[in-house]
A and B are shown apart, each in its own frame.
Chain A
Amino acid sequence: MKSKYVSIGYSAGAIGMIEAIRQYDKKSKILALTRENFTVYGRPAIVDYAMGKIGDEGIAYRGLDYSELRGVDTLLGKEVIKIKPGDHTVEISGGKTVEYEKLLLNMGGRPISPPIPGKELSGVMYFFNLDDARGMRRMVLEKGAKRAVVIGGGLIGLKATEALSHLGVKVSIVELAPAILTRGLDPVGSEMMTKKLCDFGVDVYTANEVAEIAGDKKVRSVRLKNGEIIDTDLVFISIGVIPDAKLAEDCGVKTSNGIEVDRKMRTSQKDIYSAGDVAKGYNFVSKDNMVIAIWPVARKMGYFAGLSMMGIDCEYDGSIPMNSLYFDDLYTISFGETNPSDYSSYEVMEKFYDERTYRKIFIKDGLIAGAVFVGDISRSGVVKGLIYEKIPVASYKDKLLDKDFSFIHAPKKYRDLIYTFPFKDLEAK
């Protein structure tokens, strides 16, 4: 089997690559390999899938026929065994070999499995991919699970909690840190979210951890570090995700907690590129390379990888961590730094509009370094624009907390740039 462009993994990074290539080249063969038994789908939407709000057609990226639309060959349910950069081949399960000209490593991440005694019991699950969402539905709707413990109060833990409570399950969250969502929200936002969860009947245990999962084949209860015992039918482990870079390591691609890529998304091996949650892309605020495991960043990296793979000269300008977190009708959006260890080096502005609307902005060297929006999120993207384009805000920073803050408050020259001409983008159209 032979294909000009091959992607290992079929998710956001691969979509970016496909969209970039297909802008110019409708003919060359593109092949996407995935170990999952489903076509490309919106991973962030597994929560809606688990709730039953959307089905297979709704979660599949652009519907079930996206691959057909873009002329992409797929190999689903196939494990890659080995990459041979010298031969430009990939060995896959079932003894097949795929030949490539350019290869994209888009394996994504895998959930961390902590050394908790009892984690092999039936009923201990993850909430990471579509199969997990299906598993959750099966356990709750068919097996009648009524209670669940979610280990880890991060983004995935919150999403698992939302899906479970929507399905009528009583959820307890156990978080090691003193607050939940420390990576995506500031302490105030985190507290507002905790309150929302409690209002919804979710028990939140912070500064605590699960010492043991107990049961006989099936989960019956968990014992916390402080000795407390919570009876439960299900346990969801969501303490974090690590890049799934083993394949890359094995074939000599340089890795260190993620695949090392340059600004053209090239790895250390010739003709091998990487994008998505497995790759360490550039963060232009912290000015170093790190894994930013969110959909838009994965797709943007994939886009640049795709351009590079076609031989187009481009340079990935980097991204910053950002999140759209919500539970029921409490929405939050955050950008960049939200929980700095050295508060003193930032100028922090914050404001409560009412008990469920809040905004916080971190300013460093006259530029916005981070922001948190809770409740009213409608113009939050403007702040992202100011961060991405490195627009100095010192002269109008007091306006940033205005409820209807927008470009009208920014200097006219910036406004003109946005509203007078169409945006030109990369050489890519």
Chain B
Amino acid sequence: MKRVYPVEEYCVACHLCEVACIVEHSKSKNLFYAFSEKPKVNSKIEVEMEGPISFSASCRICEHAECVEACPVAAMWRDDETGLVKVEDDRCIGCWMCIMACPQGSITPRQDHDEGLRIADKCDLCPGRENGPACVEACPNNALVYEDRDKFAKDRRTLKGSMHIFIESDDTAIQE
């Protein structure tokens, strides 16, 4: 399936992806109102920076999603047809088990004490948006791409049970 992939060599940490994400997920969809809306809108993508390096990280939509596994009420759920992992806001009880389980730290708590809001929040790939995810479109430097790389993953070593590939040291093949 198509996913959002960061290209850290191109990222200049301008944070426009975060802005685009907040605007897209706001009620008003307006840059001037989106940031003061109640309840607060979280950015579902986050720019990580360390010295000269930066890239924008969002949900990896793992094939074996540990967040889905951890959710006790199945608010975090993989759609059987699209394969997309989504949080169902109405079901979420804010127990943060998914945050505990996600090895990428891609899930953030979205809360507003006054509004009684307390749910897990993560990238939903902007469902129904014509031009694909808003963050990718907003990136001025092509540091975010939205593409299907599943075919590259085919030759990767099958795991014995670990949910991810990057184990031990034998990972040169994957880097190529």
Contact = CB atoms under 8 A, between A and B. Distances in A.
A and B: real partners? Answer: yes
B101 A384 contact: yes
Contacts of A416: 174-175
A296 B91 contact: no
Interface in A372-429: 377-382, 384-385, 388-391, 399, 404, 406-409, 413-429
Q: Which 10 pairs show the lowest CB-CB distances between chains A and B?
A: A385-B103, A42-B72, A317-B161, A425-B64, A417-B166, A379-B105, A62-B74, A296-B70, A381-B102, A408-B48
B129 interface: no
A66 interface: yes
Contact of B171 (A61, A333, A378, A413): A413
Contacts of A16: 69
A303 B106 CA distance: 23
7 contacts: A61-B73, A381-B107, A382-B105, A415-B55, A423-B163, A424-B63, A426-B64
Contacts of A404: 48
A359 interface: no
B39 interface: no
Contacts of B8: 415, 419
B160 A422 contact: no
B163 A315 contact: no
A54 interface: yes
A408 B53 contact: yes
A138 to B, nearest CB: 21
A61 B99 contact: no
B134 interface: no
Contacts of A421: 149, 152-153, 156, 165, 174
Interface string B1-39: 101011010000000000000000000000000000000
B79 interface: no
A382 B160 contact: no
B123 interface: no
Contacts of A322: 100
Contact of A378 (B91, B105, B174): B105
A41 B73 CA distance: 7
Contacts of A53: 93
Nearest to B163: A425
Interface string A48-76: 10000110001111110010000000000
